[in-house]
């Protein structure tokens, strides 16, 4: 078993049925958001849904650009949406991406850093799902980005 497999094995996997109701709703909201993905260059439709401590939900999807680098990922789009409504405290985020088969997509490094910015006062649960929701991994921002950069 290599190092990466070892770390992955420590992460909790669960079925859609096992997910607590709130987290299931969050994942379904992420799935719905993915339908609005603007991804003409990759065709990779990602959806994210953030659960605020207030109970409010904010969704995001990836928005691509011909210049490639201006592309914003679904996770950051959800954070921007919440912040735009004055919400900065989060409990959980669900992300669904269309990686092939059993592969569960997980947030890119930039999104991990941005999520970490909002987990200073407590960790944020991260629910990751493959496209069909047959594989779901429960992790957290601290687990995905140990030793984050902070000022």
Report if residue 108 touches ligand THU, rule: CB under 6 A: yes
* Catalytically annotated residues: 75
- Give the strand order in the sheet containing 90-96: 12-14, 136-140, 125-129, 90-96, 47-52, 57-61
Of 100, 102, 99, 95, nearest in space to 129 by CA: 95
* Spatial distance between the Cα atoms of 126 and 92, rounded to a whole number of angstroms: 6
Question: CA of 83: how far to CAs of 3, 73, 90, 105, 118, in Å?
Answer: 36, 16, 11, 24, 10
CB of 66 to ligand THU, least distance (A): 12
Nearer to ligand THU, 40 or 55 (CB): 40
Which range, of 2-10, 105-113, 125-133, 139-147, touches ligand THU by CB under 6 A? 105-113
Binding-site string for ligand THU from residue 33 to residue 52, where x marks contact by CB under 6 A and - marks none: ------x--x-x-x------
The stretch near ligand THU (CB under 6 A) out of 2-10, 20-28, 104-112, 129-137 is 104-112
Give the one residue of 62, 119, 125, 140 binding ligand THU; rule: CB under 6 A. Answer: 62
Residue 141 token pair: 């921002």
Distance of closest approach, residue 71 Cβ to ligand THU, in angstroms: 5
Q: Which is nearer to ligand THU, 36 or 39 (CB)?
A: 39
Q: What is the spatial distance between Cα 28 and Cα 43, in angstroms, rounded to a whole number?
A: 20
Please give the Cα distance from 116 to 79 (Å, whole number). 11
When the beta carbons of 24 and 44 are compared against ligand THU, the nearer one is 44
50's enclosing H/E stretch is strand 47-52
Contact residues for ligand THU, defined by CB under 6 A: 39, 42, 44, 46, 62, 64, 71, 73-75, 107-108, 111
């Amino acid at each position: 078993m290599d190092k990466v497999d070892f770390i992955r094995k420590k992460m909790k996997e669960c079925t859609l049925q096992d997910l607590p109701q709130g987290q299931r709703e969050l994942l379904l909201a992420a799935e719905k958001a993915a339908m609005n993905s603007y991804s003409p260059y990759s065709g990779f439709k990602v959806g994210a849904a953030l659960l605020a401590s207030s109970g409010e939900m904010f969704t995001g999807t990836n928005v691509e650009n011909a210049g490639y680098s201006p592309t914003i990922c679904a996770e950051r789009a959800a954070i921007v949406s919440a912040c735009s409504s004055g919400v900065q405290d989060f409990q959980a985020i669900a992300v669904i991406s269309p990686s092939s088969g059993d592969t569960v997509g997980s947030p890119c490094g930039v999104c991990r850093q941005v999520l970490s910015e909002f987990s200073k006062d407590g960790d944020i649960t991260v629910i990751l799902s493959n496209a069909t929701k047959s594989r779901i991994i429960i992790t957290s921002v601290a687990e995905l980005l140990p030793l984050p950069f902070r000022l």
